[in-house]
Amino acid sequence: MTHAVSQLRAARLARSVKPFLARGGPKGERCAGCRLVPSHCLCALRPNVPTRAGMCLLMADIEPLKPSNTGWLIADVVTDTFAFGWARTEVDPALLALLNDPQWQPYVVFPAEFADDARVVHEVTHDADTRPVKRPLFVLLDGTWDEARKMFRKSPYLQNLPVLSLHPEQLSRYKLRRAQSEAHLCTAEVGAMCLALANEAQAAEALNAYFEVFTEHYLKAKQQLPVDLTDDAHVRLQTASHFA
């Protein structure tokens, strides 16, 4: 299966002057579907949960190439995920068209202290049936914290959109890269919180469980240890992925 992030990764690789080398496996081989070494492939565990919300990932230059990127997990779970590479001096016309599509209500997901108070919201607008009036489109700035702040400041096409400020109740569980602060959530964790705000509880649970299983597979592969497909994380993912 190819999705928006895998397509962006392929396009970025095609522009590369030299190959992007990610460590892993005897010869560095990785599964094209999940980016893990073949012995720890995650593809068979990918959740299948319907969602009404959409995700728009604005990705820093080499972010789609990193096996540890968790925006890929969002694209695995949320069917309507769109991914665009970010550049300060140009913007993809398809991104502008998406942000102006009347079926969507875009929200830039970013901390409130970096935006004017008039733009900040803390929840998704719902109608009397508790469904969002328009389909929510969560714009996630996918990169390091410094890259995300740069994207937020230097993207004029985002400046008139509401800024959704999240208030996580726990510290990040991301273990694959060093963050500047434990309060900084990874992209998949942010995506799951957005789904919960959109009343997509099952999709939020599936993404959280999928993220935990991905982390376990990734770390066990580095340690050259087998994974236990019957542990709590895998059972949680299996339960979250089932729907009537």
Q: Is 205 inside a domain boundary?
A: no
The answer to whether residue 30 is domain-embedded is: no
In a domain, 239, yes or no: no
Block means of pLDDT (10 residues each) for the chain, 244 residues, are 89 74 58 93 93 97 92 96 95 97 97 94 76 87 94 96 84 52 76 95 95 94 94 93 62
**H helix count then E strand count, the chain:** 7, 6
Rounded to whole angstroms, the Cα distance separating 2 from 5 reads: 8
- Answer whether residue 149 is part of any domain: yes
Residue 181 has what pLDDT? 45
User: Is 103 part of any domain?
Assistant: yes
Would residue 161 count as lying in a domain? yes
Domain containing residue 94 = 4-15+50-196
Does a structural domain hold residue 73? yes
pLDDT computed for residue 127 by the predictor? 62
Is the CB of residue 46 less than 8 Å from the CB of residue 76? yes
Answering whether pTM is above 0.85, one says yes
The tally of domains found in the chain comes to 1
* Cα distance between residue 84 and residue 68, in whole Å: 18
Q: What residues contact residue 215 under an 8 Å CB cut-off, 6+ apart? A: 173, 174, 175, 176
H or E element at residue 76: helix 71-77
- Assess if residue 240 is contained within a domain: no
pLDDT at 29: 84
Q: Which of 109, 235, 200 is nearest to 163 (CA)?
A: 109
